[in-house]
Amino acid sequence: MTLTIYTKPGCFPCRKTIEKFQDAGLSPQIVDVSTTPAALEYITEELGYSQAPVVMYDKDGSEDHWSGLNPTKISHVIELHTS
């Protein structure tokens, strides 16, 4: 499974999202969009998001992404990882 979280400094939803995944034993790749202009362009221009965090995961060719703190989707990804 590939798990990437696009974040920005001082973002409470970003920090909580990362914590939830780490507490479940996952180690997401964390990308700070304030220091990575290409990542900011990707999540805003290609994906159409304007809110952090942006979470992307891919497992066995099945990909999903969302924006914001979303406990339901976080739990779903954790379940996919543990199954």
Task: State how many domains the chain has.
Answer: 1
**Position 83 pLDDT exceeds 80:** no
pTM of the model: 0.94
Q: pLDDT per residue over 16-58, tens digit each?
A: 999 999 999 999 999 999 999 999 999 999 999 999 999 999 9
Bond before 53 cis per omega within 30 degrees: yes
Residue 77 confidence (pLDDT): 94
Question: Burial of 23 by CB count in 10 Å (0-12 exposed, 13-18 middle, 19+ buried)?
Answer: exposed
The enclosing domain of 14 has a CATH number of: 3.40.30.10
Q: Where are the beta strands (DSSP E) in 8-83?
A: 29-32, 54-59, 62-67
What is the residue range of 72's domain? 2-82
